[in-house]
Structure 1
């Protein structure tokens, strides 16, 4: 088992990311290209050993879906197999491939934590010394929060230049505070910010910058009737924890945190969703969390072309759920998928902004490598970058976006509008993250600057995508080996473009 320090070191490798190291295991026997041993023999041996299990081999998509539902996390399964030809209105989603997740709300402005779940007490968090607080402390933030530097136009202009095709912002998170002036309930910006509509400002910025509009909505509402709600998750049998984090041992029954309080809460949530679907023009993505507040059948009359992500497609979260072997199964099963990743190098509980986000964050190489990995396995990347509570985006985000924009100038074709239907070569014919566009393949060299692909025809050309420079290669026994010269490498992914055909 790798420790967190080992995992952080692996993030520096062009081939390996937080999500990928679960699926690939390099050993000290890897050879440098200058050693006398035949590199083809070495590569063949390594490629056989790197993926220890291939459940997608020998199973039909139907059999693989049954296997996945039995063996994988529920977020790695999907409700439907989407017929792309029957739904051309959703074609943009898979073509774009890169989304910006914006967790922003009361936890972002909380002076002590960006962890929305800090209001939930648990034995495990207590033993680990994790910060927890009574719900009333987080709720109190709403009385004074009015983000004076909120500038989604600046965020999304940078995101567009960097190659992001869509964004998803938390219109309402589990704390239940609606970021627009809702007529349903009294826990929203209409009651606390004099009617300021933060959702409208975000949507307007998306449209101005040609970014597809996504909204996150939490079905659970921890503020609704919170005096009678349990604030312990997961629950224990010995006691119950209330909103003050008092331990009740008298058998008091409180409403579970992820459960609705009843018809009034459900109707309030449906009313709010109707506002989001009716008052802001076309919405491209709906992203549920906790539970689904409104069925697709109810959404369609208001938003006929909306793409419902969570539940309809697989949405693994984090490196463990989204490991390469697992999402390979998802793709081979015929499901669309989107990996939801926090842009952090070492674990924190924060999806919203916390001070750790300022320094514990991905660099450009890590973000681009993760994007390439997801695309090579047939999915999207939805990367979370949380704005500060005052509405500013962290400075490092703009620096990363500038570097991404420069990379996109020469290598965009390797990640956008690529083939996503199985079979794809990554993990089968190669350990290099390799995207496909017809007869053209784009491979990311490993940490030794090597690309090795089996079971292919002799290529017509092999070039470094960034410069167009022809690269030397070896072709033998239907295997291709390319070594990118050290002098050609940069600190960002240097894709090798391989053209077959004929």
Structure 2
């Protein structure tokens, strides 16, 4: 209605302008687009609902079919850089992508039967012991090395002379390596490695080379002799650790900072000095005199104590394997010939799997602690922050299932005693070894191995026999295998039911057969 007519006026209604027409058209287009968008949203929601229903149905189906559920769970989604590659190709990949401590050298095992013991035994005891073990030290020679990260974290750092002073009075009155080794042998350790000289430079024997040893500070007491004798008595192979760097030698002219800085250097008093200062880098030799002293000490170790089975260098090597072999024809050189990942930051399963596929021998050296400390030598934290028996044995099974050895560090107290928990763990390990030793000793170590390829369970192998560690739910699942001839509990020998389908095997360890230690399942395949 025209409102003007109500008051007696009559005016023409103007025609719509082009702008109004455009606005009207635009409004209609928006309405049409909105209808289309709502239609698309509706269809999408219907699609999502259908997917959700399908997923729910699949989930329900999997829940009703535990075998299919395990099959889904065990699909490998991580990168497998070893898959489909030759050992040479894996080596090339490893050299580019892995830490240098995961790189080894090819060893012709057939040409070195004298080294069979190393791979067969699989378990070594690492013994960091020396002046850094004694209070008030901080559990490692590295405590005397300054770093900005330590300063920021307010971690304890000692001046070198504070640590060196300990050796003036140190004389471990309760040193009893015979007791150490008796327990280790029962527990299944095949060898031990003692720090004959760590980075602090102190020698645990009366050396004729230098004055920083038990000959000058312990009335000639020979701690190495007692250790070697105890190891041999109890059937353990004898290993010696020796640090190439010697931070005591000419220490007033050595740098005590790591990592180095471009802006300053740090002297032995932890004073910042100019970068032009002539200080020997932390991990380097100060010159010919130091090198001559170190070579003389190594010759003593190689000639004064009878057969030495293993040399474990740290920092750098004083002699080549060939030079050592002239003194000890059968000696096995760990760091230098094999990969020696250090701690779990190097030793993750995917890393050492690559090392094994590359054809390199390897040994994981690791501290027996649950949460990080700087302690390779003894510190009070070691008394409570330590692995239990299950953790140690599980780690052993893991390493063996991936083709390597475990060298676990359990440091003696400064007075020469081993911690109480060490003997408790050794007793429990001895019991486990009575029934499950065959799962970890003298197993196959050459690639390919089933762990991470056929199964996510840690699984060792000997010929046509698998030894699998069930997961937390007691389940073992292995792909791409033939139907087994038998499945038993390695601990009891009892038969265990299994399901075999489409080349895959699923085993559930009954609750009645589970313990607090690794319950290995023995799977025998037809030859």
TM-score, normalised to structure 1's length?
0.92
Q: Is the 8 A contact 1:110 1:138 kept in 2?
A: no
Specify the alignment match of 2:264 in structure 1: 239
Residue 420 (structure 2) pairs with residue 385 (structure 1): no
Specify the alignment match of 2:82 in structure 1: 56
- Distance change in 2, residues 1:259/1:34 (3 Å): same
Q: How does 1:309-324 map to 2 (within 5 A)?
A: 309-324=334-349
Instruction: Report the CA distance between 1:87 and its aligned residue.
Output: 0.5
2:194 alignment partner, SS class: strand
Q: Is the 8 A contact 1:460 1:499 kept in 2?
A: yes
Specify the alignment match of 2:355 in structure 1: 330
Out of 44, 57, 81, the residue aligned to residue 71 of structure 2 is 44
Specify the alignment match of 2:435 in structure 1: 410
Out of 307, 322, 334, the residue aligned to residue 332 of structure 2 is 307
Q: Is the 8 A contact 1:153 1:202 kept in 2?
A: yes
- Distance change in 2, residues 1:204/1:333 (3 Å): same
Question: Runs in 1 of length 4+ with deviation above 4 angstroms?
Answer: 31-35
Instruction: Report the CA distance between 1:313 and its aligned residue.
Output: 0.1
Specify the alignment match of 1:14 in structure 2: none
1:300 alignment partner, SS class: helix
Distance 2:61 2:86 in 1: 42
2:75 alignment partner, SS class: helix
Distance 2:223 2:414 in 1: 13
Instruction: Report the CA distance between 1:128 and its aligned residue.
Output: 1.5
Instruction: Report the CA distance between 1:487 and its aligned residue.
Output: 2.0
Q: Is the 8 A contact 2:338 2:360 kept in 1?
A: yes
- Distance change in 2, residues 1:437/1:229 (3 Å): same
2:110 alignment partner, SS class: coil
Instruction: Report the CA distance between 1:413 and its aligned residue.
Output: 0.5
Distance 1:230 1:198 in 2: 30
Residue 398 (structure 2) pairs with residue 373 (structure 1): yes
Out of 52, 61, 65, the residue aligned to residue 91 of structure 2 is 65
Q: Is the 8 A contact 1:453 1:481 kept in 2?
A: yes
Distance 1:165 1:115 in 2: 25
Residue 146 (structure 2) pairs with residue 121 (structure 1): yes
1:143 alignment partner, SS class: coil
Distance 2:322 2:274 in 1: 43
Please list every run of 5 or more consecutive structure 2 residues that lacks an aligned counterpart in the other structure.
Answer: 1-55
Specify the alignment match of 2:177 in structure 1: 152
- Distance change in 2, residues 1:355/1:462 (3 Å): same
1:91 alignment partner, SS class: helix
Specify the alignment match of 1:221 in structure 2: 246
How many residue pairs end up in the alignment? 471
Q: How does 1:87-486 map to 2 (within 5 A)?
A: 87-249=112-274, 251-486=276-511
Distance 1:152 1:69 in 2: 40
1:275 alignment partner, SS class: helix
Q: Is the 8 A contact 1:116 1:350 kept in 2?
A: no
Instruction: Report the CA distance between 1:195 and its aligned residue.
Output: 0.3
Instruction: Report the CA distance between 1:36 and its aligned residue.
Output: 3.4
Q: Is the 8 A contact 2:137 2:143 kept in 1?
A: no
Q: Is the 8 A contact 1:33 1:39 kept in 2?
A: no
Q: Is the 8 A contact 1:115 1:349 kept in 2?
A: yes
The farther-off stretch of 391-400 and 480-489 is 480-489
Q: Is the 8 A contact 1:219 1:269 kept in 2?
A: yes
Distance 1:490 1:40 in 2: 24
Instruction: Report the CA distance between 1:33 and its aligned residue.
Output: 13
Instruction: Report the CA distance between 1:328 and its aligned residue.
Output: 0.4
Out of 85, 103, 107, the residue aligned to residue 77 of structure 1 is 103
Distance 2:520 2:62 in 1: 24
Distance 1:290 1:32 in 2: 54
Instruction: Report the CA distance between 1:158 and its aligned residue.
Output: 0.2
2:125 alignment partner, SS class: strand
1:150 alignment partner, SS class: coil
- Distance change in 2, residues 1:131/1:34 (3 Å): farther
How far does the alpha carbon of each residue in 1:204-263 deviate from its partner, in whole angstroms, 9 at most, with x for none?
A: 100111100000000000000000000011111222111111122473231101010000
Distance 1:33 1:440 in 2: 35
1:321 alignment partner, SS class: helix
Instruction: Report the CA distance between 1:35 and its aligned residue.
Output: 7.9
Instruction: Report the CA distance between 1:45 and its aligned residue.
Output: 1.6
Instruction: Report the CA distance between 1:58 and its aligned residue.
Output: 1.9
Q: In terms of Rg, which structure is larger?
A: 2
Please list every run of 5 or more consecutive structure 1 residues that lacks an aligned counterpart in the other structure.
Answer: 1-28
- Distance change in 2, residues 1:137/1:56 (3 Å): same
Distance 2:397 2:375 in 1: 25
Q: Is the 8 A contact 2:466 2:524 kept in 1?
A: yes
Name which structure has the greater RCO, CA cutoff 8 Å, separation 6+.
1
Instruction: Report the CA distance between 1:362 and its aligned residue.
Output: 0.2
Distance 2:64 2:142 in 1: 54
